């Protein structure tokens, strides 16, 4: 039995869509919103008040009292009646002076009475004698039945309007469906504009191996019959795992664009609310929408928000809501709810913490790792992001790609955009090599700060950065020094930029020790020259600690700790919780030994090459910034030549 799917007829979906076909308008009776229960509620209230006011209108014709004909005659004789209106034997009138009401409840000036049929008095003569005006219009103006009805209905209408407003707010707080006043129809996705270009694999570069993995999904969506004839089943889900900015969302959109199927995207956090059960309801709605246009693709970003491994024991609040949402996703992907033809693509940068039930075959059948691009990939990504940017002939994207190791697609896109912004500020018609160089400095080193430093502090900063640069040049196998500056950037008073010539995927102990020596070069230079240590080495020490901890506790580069991983990857948060106390003491001792050895090495090399250190510092004080070629020339070191201690 196929699950009924509610109509798509309300705005503001908790997801975004692309490529969904237009849906014909349904008859008004199809919904369960205002046209259903709310309309019936309003009609019932209207009928009740119509009947009530109709009955009340017979009992309450006005506020004027009905007095006796005897009292009326007395008032006429006393000359207290100003005017009357008669229709048959019914008489309405108005007094000149107020009289006390019958029964003593206040006073009155307007009244009504009934002339007895047996009366044989000289009423007309009395009225004429006392100058009473006999009008042709009623003295007492009664409101019409419609006016009475509207006045009496006004409080009820106000209450109904307030009720609707509060109910909608409550329903929205409860996630739309499942509100206290009944289920609301699921939101209707925004339709794709006709002729709008969709994302394809032509817009994706630098991750060719990932495209190969996803091409199977595209082919399945395009040619499902061929796979069914072979008995193959469509993959339920594809998990894209990788660092932020590597293009996971772009890949999911490209798969949908290549296959030409509707694309539904949502962040996992959009399913979570304070009220338990809302997330599961939203998941049901999302899959119901996707099934209507199957084959289709659902993309859930940051799925680790709701897909964390479930814990034991009773859960309450948000934790329980997260588990219910996850359970609903598992149920929908398992096929029991008729989700055939719907492929779920999810993205996360924490695949290690996902629930095993989510990553088993039959749920997310494939786990695709999306890594930062290599040099050729970075060049291809830069070409895509500069398609609409006019480039000058001197721009070499291959050179830019070589100087940006480790950058993701999002960072490269930001780099191209920063270069274009600089060109606009400088009123250039094309983006030149200078804009790309300055944009790269801004991205990697931070924006320049207009900071005026005292001369002694400026000189100390020059020696600090010269120490970093010189040790980077002297250390065998170290990353080449690209730029040295004492211009304050970001939070730093000066920056030394070193990047490898090619991408590195594995690091030797010698290379890591060189990194530590280079990072300690600033502190070592200050001690060698000034015999003091300042707070300018804080960031350097953080980097040193991170590398030393990895060498000792994770990468087996300590004989005392042994060939084991004693601390997890996130050891900075869990340090001291993942190993025995004796092991932690050993790790601490080994980290100190490695750092102390590297620091002694840094001080020794700087003392041995003090002349080069002074030359670099003097050049920095004069020029503030040294490019790669100038830095090596001033230091007297030939590029690519391994210097040895002499």
pLDDT of residue 545: 93
Domain ranges of the chain: 69-141, 201-369, 375-445, 455-635
pLDDT of residue 172: 54
Instruction: Name the catalytic one among 273, 379, 465, 526.
Output: 465
Residue ranges of the chain with per-residue pLDDT less than 50: 1-11, 24-35, 61-62, 173-195, 312-318, 338-339, 571-576, 641-646
Query: 465 an active-site residue?
Result: yes
DSSP states along 394-450: T--HHHHHHT-TT--HHHHHHHHHHHHHHHHHTT-SSB-HHHHHHHHHHHHH--B--
Phi, psi of 482 (to 5 degrees): -95, -35
- In contact, 489 and 495? CB cutoff 8 Å: yes
What span, in angstroms and rounded, lies between the C-alpha atoms of 605 and 513? 14
End-to-end CA distance of the chain: 84
Q: Write the CATH number of the domain with boundaries 201-369.
A: 3.40.50.300
pLDDT of residue 181: 34
pLDDT in tens, 345-365: 888 888 778 888 787 877 888
Burial code (b: 16+ CB inside 10 Å, e: under 16) for 627-639 equals ebeebbebbebee
pLDDT in tens, 429-452: 899 888 888 888 888 777 777 767
pLDDT of residue 606: 92
Phi, psi of 39 (to 5 degrees): -65, -40
Both tokens of 563, joined, read 């060939």
Cβ atoms < 10 Å from Cβ of 263: 26
Closest CA to 332 of 296, 368, 305: 296
Among the four given CATH numbers 3.40.640.10, 1.10.8.60, 3.90.1330.10, 3.10.180.10, the one describing domain 375-445: 1.10.8.60
- In contact, 435 and 419? CB cutoff 8 Å: yes
Class level of CATH domain 69-141: alpha beta
SS3 content of the chain, % helix, strand, coil (to 5): 50, 15, 40
Which fold would CATH assign to domain 455-635? Methane Monooxygenase Hydroxylase; Chain G, domain 1 (1.20.58)
Closest CA to 186 of 177, 195, 178: 177
pLDDT in tens, 63-102: 677 777 788 888 887 888 888 877 777 787 888 888 877 7
pLDDT of residue 616: 92
What span, in angstroms and rounded, lies between the C-alpha atoms of 413 and 418? 9
pLDDT of residue 125: 75
- In contact, 214 and 368? CB cutoff 8 Å: yes
pLDDT of residue 202: 78
Length of the chain: 646
What span, in angstroms and rounded, lies between the C-alpha atoms of 333 and 343? 9
Phi, psi of 565 (to 5 degrees): -100, 100
DSSP state of 175: T
């Amino acid at each position: 039995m196929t699950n009924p799917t509610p109509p798509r007829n309300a705005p503001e979906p908790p997801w975004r869509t692309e490529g969904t076909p237009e849906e014909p308008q349904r008859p008004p009776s199809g919904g369960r919103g205002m046209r259903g229960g709310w309309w019936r509620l309003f009609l019932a209230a209207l009928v009740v008040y119509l009947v009530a006011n109709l009955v009340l209108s017979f009992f309450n014709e006005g506020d004027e009292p009905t007095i006796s004909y005897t009292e009326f005659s007395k008032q006429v004789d006393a000359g207290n009646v100003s005017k009357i209106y008669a229709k048959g034997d019914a008489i309405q009138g108005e007094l000149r002076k107020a009289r006390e009401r019958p029964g003593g409840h206040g006073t009155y000036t307007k009244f009504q009475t009934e002339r007895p049929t047996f009366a044989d008095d000289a009423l007309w003569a009395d009225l004429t004698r006392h100058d009473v005006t006999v009008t042709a219009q009623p003295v007492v103006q009664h409101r019409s039945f419609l006016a009475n009805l509207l006045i009496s209905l006004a409080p009820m209408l106000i209450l109904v309007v307030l009720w609707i407003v509060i109910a909608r707010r409550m329903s929205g707080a409860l996630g739309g469906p499942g509100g206290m006043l009944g289920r609301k129809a699921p939101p209707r996705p925004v339709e794709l504009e006709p002729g709008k270009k969709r994302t394809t694999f032509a817009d994706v570069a630098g991750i060719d191996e990932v495209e190969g993995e996803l091409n199977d999904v595209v082919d399945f969506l395009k040619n499902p019959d061929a796979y069914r004839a072979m008995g193959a089943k469509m993959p339920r889900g594809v998990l894209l795992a990788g660092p932020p900015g590597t293009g996971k969302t772009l890949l999911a959109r490209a798969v949908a664009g290549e296959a030409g199927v509707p694309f539904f995207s949502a962040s996992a956090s959009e399913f979570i609310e304070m009220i338990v059960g809302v997330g599961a309801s939203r998941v049901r709605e999302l899959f119901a929408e996707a099934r209507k246009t199957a084959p289709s693709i659902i993309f859930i970003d940051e799925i680790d928000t709701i897909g964390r491994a479930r814990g034991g024991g009773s859960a309450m609040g948000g934790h329980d809501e997260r588990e219910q949402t996850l359970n609903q996703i598992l149920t929908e992907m398992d096929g029991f709810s008729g989700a055939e033809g719907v492929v779920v693509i999810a993205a996360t940068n924490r695949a290690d913490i996902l629930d095993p039930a989510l990553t088993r075959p039959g749920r997310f059948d494939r786990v695709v790792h999306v890594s930062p691009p290599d040099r050729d990939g970075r060049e291809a990504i830069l070409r895509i992001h500069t398609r609409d940017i006019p480039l000058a002939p001197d721009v070499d994207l291959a050179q830019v790609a070589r100087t940006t190791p480790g950058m993701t697609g999002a960072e490269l896109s930001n780099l191209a955009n920063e270069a274009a912004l600089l060109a606009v500020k400088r009123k250039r018609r094309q983006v030149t090599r200078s804009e790309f160089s300055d944009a790269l400095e801004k991205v990697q080193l931070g924006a320049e700060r207009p900071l005026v430093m005292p001369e002694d502090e400026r000189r100390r900063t020059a020696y600090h950065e010269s120490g970093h640069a010189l040790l980077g040049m002297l250390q065998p196998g170290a990353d080449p020094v690209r730029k040295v500056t004492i211009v304050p950037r970001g939070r730093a008073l000066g920056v030394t930029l070193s990047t490898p010539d090619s991408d590195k995927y594995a690091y030797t102990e010698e290379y890591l020790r060189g990194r530590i020596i280079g990072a300690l070069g600033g502190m070592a230079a200050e001690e060698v020259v000034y015999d003091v240590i300042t707070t300018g080495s804080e960031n350097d020490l953080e980097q040193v600690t991170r590398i030393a901890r990895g060498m000792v506790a994770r990468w087996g580069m300590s004989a005392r700790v042994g060939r084991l991983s004693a601390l997890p990857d996130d050891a900075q948060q869990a340090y001291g919780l993942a190993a025995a106390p004796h092991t932690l003491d050993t790790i601490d001792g080994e980290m100190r030994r490695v750092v102390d050895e590297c620091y002694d090495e840094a001080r020794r090399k700087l003392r041995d090459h003090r002349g080069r250190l002074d030359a670099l510092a003097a050049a920095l004080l004069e020029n503030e910034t040294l490019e790669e070629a100038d830095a090596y020339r001033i230091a007297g070191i030939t590029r690519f030549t391994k210097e040895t201690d002499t």
